[in-house]
Amino acid sequence: MKSIRTLKTAVRALRRNVLRAALTTLGIVIGIAAVIAMMEIGNGSSEAIQRTITSMGANVLLVMPGTASTSGVSFGAGSIMTLTPADAEAIVRDCPAVGAVAPVVRARTQVVYGNRNWVPMSIYGTTPAFLRVRDWEEMADGDPFSERDVRNCSKVCLIGETLVRELFDGKSPVGKEIRIQNVAFKVVGVLRAKGANMMGMDQDDIILAPWTTIKYRVSGSALGNVNQSSASAQNNAPGTVSTAVNTLSQIYPNSEQDLYPVPSITQQADTPQPIRFANIDQILSTARSSAEIPAAMRQMGLLLRERHRIRPDEADDFIIRDMTEMTNALSSATGLMTKLLLAVAMISLVVGGVGIMNIMLVSVTERTREIGLRMAVGAEPGDILRQFLTEAIVLCLLGGAMGILLGRGCSFLVRLLLHWPTASSVGALIAAVVVSATVGMVFGYYPAWKASRLDPIEALRYE
């Protein structure tokens, strides 16, 4: 009740001199508008920078098989075959912090088209998710292959710009057939040029194909398969797996592969883990956002330990790596931007606040007689303090509201006319309201306190 009355009195007092009130708030209006506009433009830029860095692969998490070691001799990362495509599927299913997941099978061999040949830096067998992981979904030409191609072991591939140049002389390769180790692959799409990566390696020197195709039709020469065949040889007749599969697919090109042969009862009893016939070389995945990288790594680690039945006292049989360098660059860029914005915001708000204080002080002097009168009719010092403080806060809140409108207008114009990226931020709006009220309180307090300390006799006599 009392506060409502104080508010009314304050509004009435402000209405008595609209021009002065408007001039007083101008500082805050401009301050808040600057904050909002800077925040929105800055947020937009910051998001654009983040997107750029993210497209370089900052959120990519790499899962590699662990290291094999015999009598203290370690063979380095990737020397045991522990990852399966089922792991990749399980990660998609069970890790909420992980966005896209792509299993990868690598090969390195010669590619032939007509009378030209080339050995690409990387031949990756993977799934369409790979393009999502690497932010590569936009094709320069043609279309990506599908999940169905992966299931069907289809002989299709996507090639990078470098291969187009080397094998096709820059002409469109879509629909043509290239041979990888004597297996004919139809080129269905050309990847957008990505250039060199941070290490200077050509990222366009690449062939992407369904991992099943690479695994079962091509990668006899890939390093990884040596181990797998020896592992399978223990349980089956030597060479059965690969030959059987290959033979089968040649007879029925479109039949689906049975990737996981059902083990016999004896096998199940003998081996604590299912035999991984279809091991893969690595799993590429992305965290949903850079903030979720640690969570994604933790979730994947737990899931893989569970799936691989690793006891708590045993070491991981896989390695998860993140792009620490890029993540750091990302967070430092974002942090820098935020600090810059904060500094600008603080300065403009302090300037606005000092403006409020100045005019409130002038106002107290100008209204000395009024204060004296109010005291004479029984206003206690606290009433006067409250009234002037309320006036300052009302001014600041009004200024804040106008500033928000003005700031949003500015950022809208910037987006419209200059085509700068902007992003609205609810945080900035809330902060603006809180800050303007705080500025009103802090900078309105001194003049209000001064008013409340006036001697009513002096104040009434003041000319």
Q: Using CB under 8 A as the criterion, which residues of the chain lie in contact with other proteins when the complex forms?
A: 1-2, 5-6, 9, 12, 15-17, 369-370, 372-383, 456-457, 460
Q: How many CB atoms lie within 10 A of CB 119?
A: 11
Question: Which CB atom, from 312 or from 382, has the smaller least distance to other proteins?
Answer: 382
Question: Which CB atom, from 6 or from 424, has the smaller least distance to other proteins?
Answer: 6
How far apart CA 414 and CA 39 sit, in angstroms, is 13
Q: How far is the CB of 383 from other proteins (least distance, A)?
A: 5
Question: Which CB atom, from 13 or from 156, has the smaller least distance to other proteins?
Answer: 13
Q: How far is the CB of 380 from other proteins (least distance, A)?
A: 4
CB-count burial class (<10 Å; 0-12, 13-18, 19+) for 126:
buried
Q: How far is the CB of 15 from other proteins (least distance, A)?
A: 8
Q: How far is the CB of 346 from other proteins (least distance, A)?
A: 37
Q: How far is the CB of 364 from other proteins (least distance, A)?
A: 15
Q: How far is the CB of 369 from other proteins (least distance, A)?
A: 6
Question: Which CB atom, from 313 or from 463, has the smaller least distance to other proteins?
Answer: 463
Question: Which CB atom, from 312 or from 378, has the smaller least distance to other proteins?
Answer: 378
Question: Which CB atom, from 195 or from 382, has the smaller least distance to other proteins?
Answer: 382
Q: How many CB atoms lie within 10 A of CB 378?
A: 7
Q: How far is the CB of 1 from other proteins (least distance, A)?
A: 6
Q: How far is the CB of 427 from other proteins (least distance, A)?
A: 38
Phi, psi of 174 (to 5 degrees): -65, 130
What is the amino acid identity at position 110?
Q
Furthest-apart CA atoms within the chain: distance in Å: 114
Strand 206-210 relative to strand 122-126, pairing: parallel
How far apart CA 127 and CA 149 sit, in angstroms, is 9
Q: How far is the CB of 337 from other proteins (least distance, A)?
A: 48
Q: How far is the CB of 363 from other proteins (least distance, A)?
A: 13
Which residues face 125 on adjacent strands?
105, 209
Question: Which CB atom, from 341 or from 451, has the smaller least distance to other proteins?
Answer: 451
Question: Which CB atom, from 6 or from 229, has the smaller least distance to other proteins?
Answer: 6
